Structure 1
Amino acid sequence: MKIAGHTMGTPEYSLEDALRLFKKIGLDGAEIIVQDGYRCALEEKTSTDTLRELSRLAKDLSLEIPCLTPYFSRFNDLDEGIREKEIEGMCKVITYAEILGAKYIRLYGGNFGQDERDEDGKKRGCLVESLRFLGEIAKKHGVSLVLENHFNTMTVSARESVDISYAINHPSVGILYDQANLTFTGNEEYETAIPLQFDKSWYVHVKDFVFRGNDHTFSSSDVSHPQEEERKVVTRIVGEGILDWPAILQMLKDRGYSGWLSLEYERRWHPQDIPDASLGMKQSAAFLRKIIRDLK
């Protein structure tokens, strides 16, 4: 297994300096955000020259770029114009991934609030159609799309993620396994989630947290992150929270997983919870490396 840093964890850094930090703390790669308005990210309209310069820097640092993470989500919108705009943005990111040698792109499984209903299945149908189309584009560019287990989407749980991925039924569309998201939304624990979605789990996010109190009811008004007043958890350095990462990684290894573990260090959203990545991401990576060494 290889360990990547996620640029969510480096809001104080330029993208180039984040890559240098990842190299310094011994990481193998970088998962890079694609979004306007965030310092440590690629812009949604990035020039080929900029991408090639970044690719050269990564190679000079002996870092891989395994995954790009855009924030398009409305692939299930009933408004065709909105869907087409999101798809257009994703198509650009697919070309960026090819230039950078990134094999994966993180996807949201649509935008679907906790109180929304889809009784006639139209939103699900739009999502499946959109992602099947994007899967075909991705395939032509040698890229795979991975649907994250994520709140306020149509892939919140492992069961939903599996059902959607098989409905899409495309060889270039799989799942991004995120146990922290599953746990704090009250969905499957790892003993259930890993066997359920393993055949489609191609990429893994690693983070940690503790609950603030006895009320574990999850709520978020936004697809990307809960607002501070909505939060029932506190982000932690990996190894200092409640997730049993030794057991999770052992189960993944036992089933044959040898891919990427991406440290989704949430300093962008919750800087009050965790220290600078030079400290907290470094400690998280050391914790993961020890687990990997000790796997049976």
Structure 2
Amino acid sequence: MKKGVNEWCFPEECSIDQAVTVASKAGFDGIELNLSENGNLSLSSTDQEINRLHMKIKDYGLELPSLSTSLLWKYSLTSNNPKEREKGKQVVKKMSDIASLLQIDTILVVPGIVSKEVSYDTAYERSQEALLELGEYARKSKVTIGIENVWNKFLVSPLEMKKFIQEINIPNIGVYFDVGNILLYGFPEQWIQILAELIKKVHVKDFKTAVGNFSGFTSLLQGDVNWKEVMLALANIQYNDYLIAEIPSHPIFPEKSLQQLSQSMDFIIQEVHSSW
């Protein structure tokens, strides 16, 4: 397995040059970029700007395993506002275009949000409808859509997630599995065994279940994730792709926290993975 780090793991003011320098020095194999409305990679980024960004990252010997975004919380694919839903689809298409340009094989997609205003069954229908279109668009670019399990009150069991994707029935739509996100209402090793070959990429972070809210997210080996069971489950499904950390950096010592994060990932991959 390879270890990657999400761009969100760096301070907000960190330039891409600083991020790739620190990531490379810390021993990461790849960096996961984020599409935003403003930033290193934005909705208005030109092909020329994207290619320049790619060259910077390659100069440091880093790979680009995947692309993520937080914009699908703002422009939900299941919103009651048709303009917001359309904007969300445009975000995913932009991600597909960028991924194709940068030779990234997987993009992370939040499939929608269930809320007081948007019922579960409506979200299910709207999300599948959008993903049928987006899956075909991404397929032409040879890009895989990874649907992430997030705290959106939607697709809250592995059986439902699997059924949801199988019903869409497009080969390049799978799962971007987040280990830490599951702990509030499930067991990551069970999700991994059930979703199996549908898992395309894996996010790693830890979570303290006693806290029970966003403050419970913590760095690796500091929460309640049973990493032995998680790694055994990944081995059982023959997953051998990236583990990508998605944990905010220390506000004062970001470089040190990233070094520690890299060391924790080494332990999980090398020590835990080889201890059976």
What pairs with 1:47-196 in structure 2 (closer than 5 Å)? 47-73=46-72, 74-113=76-115, 115=116, 118=119, 121-152=121-152, 154-184=154-184, 186=185, 188-196=186-194
SS at match of 1:154: coil
Q: Over residues 241-285 of structure 1, what are the superposed CA-to-partner deviations in whole Å (9 max), with x where a residue is unaligned?
A: 221223311220122000110000134xxx66xx64422222122
The answer on whether the counterparts of 2:183 and 2:209 sit within 8 Å (CA) in structure 1 is no
- TM-aligned CA deviation for residue 105 of structure 1: 0.6
The answer on whether the counterparts of 2:8 and 2:247 sit within 8 Å (CA) in structure 1 is yes
Structure 1 residue ranges without an equivalent (≥5):
219-230
- TM-aligned CA deviation for residue 210 of structure 1: 2.0
Deviates more, 1:133-142 or 1:88-97: 88-97
The answer on whether the counterparts of 2:99 and 2:143 sit within 8 Å (CA) in structure 1 is yes
Q: Which residue of 2 aligns with 1:266?
A: 248
Q: Indicate which of 279, 285, 295 corresponds to 2:256.
A: 279
Q: Indicate which of 201, 216, 224 corresponds to 1:203.
A: 201
SS at match of 1:84: helix
Q: Which residue of 2 aligns with 1:228?
A: none
SS at match of 1:193: helix
Q: Indicate which of 239, 251, 258 corresponds to 2:221.
A: 239
SS at match of 1:147: strand
Instruction: Give the partner amino acid of 1:239.
Output: L
Compared CA separation, residues 164 and 24, structure 1 to 2 (3 A): same
**For 1:130 and 1:195, how far apart are their aligned partners in 2?**
27
Structural RMSD (CA):
2.1
Compared CA separation, residues 250 and 175, structure 1 to 2 (3 A): same
Instruction: Give the partner amino acid of 1:251.
Output: A
Compared CA separation, residues 239 and 131, structure 1 to 2 (3 A): same
The answer on whether the counterparts of 2:30 and 2:65 sit within 8 Å (CA) in structure 1 is yes
The answer on whether the counterparts of 2:78 and 2:118 sit within 8 Å (CA) in structure 1 is no
SS at match of 1:98: helix
**For 1:82 and 1:190, how far apart are their aligned partners in 2?**
32
Q: Which residue of 2 aligns with 1:221?
A: none
Runs of 4+ in 1 over 6 A off after TM superposition: none
The answer on whether the counterparts of 1:107 and 1:147 sit within 8 Å (CA) in structure 2 is yes
SS at match of 2:14: coil
TM-score between both structures, scaled by the size of structure 1: 0.84
- TM-aligned CA deviation for residue 237 of structure 1: 2.2
**For 1:101 and 1:55, how far apart are their aligned partners in 2?**
10
> Higher helix proportion, which one?
2
- TM-aligned CA deviation for residue 117 of structure 1: 6.0
**For 2:257 and 2:227, how far apart are their aligned partners in 1?**
16
Identity percentage over the alignment?
24
**For 1:122 and 1:236, how far apart are their aligned partners in 2?**
33
The answer on whether the counterparts of 2:92 and 2:109 sit within 8 Å (CA) in structure 1 is no
The answer on whether the counterparts of 1:10 and 1:276 sit within 8 Å (CA) in structure 2 is no
SS at match of 2:183: helix
The answer on whether the counterparts of 1:69 and 1:105 sit within 8 Å (CA) in structure 2 is yes
Compared CA separation, residues 56 and 153, structure 1 to 2 (3 A): farther
Aligned residues: 269
